[in-house]
Structure 1
Amino acid sequence: MSFATIERPRARRMRALLAPLGVAAVTAAAFAVAGLVDPNEPGHYPTCPFLWLTGLYCPGCGTLRTMHALAHLDPVAALGLNPLFVAMMPILLFWWVRWVVRAWQGRPPSTAVPHPAWLWAFIAVVMVYWVVRNLPFGAFLAP
């Protein structure tokens, strides 16, 4: 057995880890920028186009300020700015960890598509969140 045959699985594993580690690097960079450049000060970031056009909040409104609060380890403020984004973070982290584990084990990324009921349920949650955060009784969901 030669040295090259021993190194191949390890090299393949390291190459498979590049994609999830790249996603982690881009995410960390986005949080670093949001943490360093305060979105609460006007002029640093563009206004949400939906908010600018309609005066209503979209499901993503407040996400930059949420990222800023999380970068400064303030989860309570983050939850008050965009609770849907904060609630999605553990799910996204779970999927990312699963991706890393599969890459480390040398298994291909999972291409299984969730059951359509899950996708429709997620779309329904986002739509209800979108509407409720713009109604008077849902003002607590507004950023």
Structure 2
Amino acid sequence: MPDVNADSERATSRTGPLGRLAVPGGILAVVAGAFAYVGTVDPNQPGHYPVCPLYLLTGLYCPGCGGLRSAHAFIHGDFLGALQDNAMAVVGYLGFAVLWTVWVVRAARGRPLNLGLGPVHLWTAGTLLLVFTVVRNLPFGGWLHP
């Protein structure tokens, strides 16, 4: 079986510095554009964004409910409001920033991004997201409502 990491590392080392930073730069441009749009078009004003289908049909909050309002508050420096709208989204923003920074540093050095996430990490993340979703829909989890 071929060593995928070795092949990826050889391919990365043959590319110039700008080529190695093209994909992380493109991802950053897309994310920045999305944040700029949400920062400009206020999700707190009705009619700009669709309503969550799960909330519309069941009245239950999905893990993403309040994410746009959280992003809007985050962009405008209201970090407490962002946490209140969707705490897991704020964790996601910060996690993305750390992951993207590691990716850029490794790419600049000509090394591939190898996170080494195993099933335990993925199951843990999924479990935390599930617990967040269940708790925010229980009576005592009202502080997690968007």
TM-score if structure 2 supplies the norm length?
A: 0.86
| CA deviation after TM superposition for structure 1 residue 91, in Å | 2.0
The percentage of counterpart residues that share the same residue type is 49
Q: What letter matches 2:43 in structure 1?
A: P
Give the structure with higher Rg (CA): 1
SS of the residue aligned with 1:139? helix
Match of 1:31 in 2: 35
126-135 or 80-89: which moved more?
80-89
| CA deviation after TM superposition for structure 1 residue 12, in Å | 1.3
Match of 1:123 in 2: 126
From 137, 140, 143, give the equivalent of 2:143.
140
Q: What letter matches 2:82 in structure 1?
A: A
10-19 or 32-41: which moved more?
10-19
From 74, 83, 86, give the equivalent of 2:78.
74
Q: Is 1:41 paired with 2:45?
A: yes
**Mapping of 1:102-117 within 5 angstroms?**
102-110=106-114, 112-117=115-120
| CA deviation after TM superposition for structure 1 residue 92, in Å | 1.8
In structure 1, distance between residues paired with 2:53 and 2:135: 19
SS of the residue aligned with 1:40? coil
In structure 1, distance between residues paired with 2:45 and 2:14: 47
Aligned residue-pair number? 134
| CA deviation after TM superposition for structure 1 residue 11, in Å | 6.6
In structure 1, distance between residues paired with 2:141 and 2:47: 28
| CA deviation after TM superposition for structure 1 residue 10, in Å | 9.9
Q: What letter matches 1:34 in structure 2?
A: V
TM-score if structure 1 supplies the norm length?
A: 0.88
Match of 2:3 in 1: none
Question: Which ranges of structure 1 fall in alignment gaps of 5 or more residues?
Answer: 1-8
Q: What letter matches 1:58 in structure 2?
A: C
In structure 1, distance between residues paired with 2:105 and 2:31: 18
Off by >6 Å, runs of 4+ in structure 1: none
Q: What letter matches 2:81 in structure 1?
A: A
SS of the residue aligned with 1:80? helix
Match of 2:64 in 1: 60
SS of the residue aligned with 2:16? helix
Distance change in 2, residues 1:19/1:135 (3 Å): same
In structure 2, distance between residues paired with 1:82 and 1:109: 29
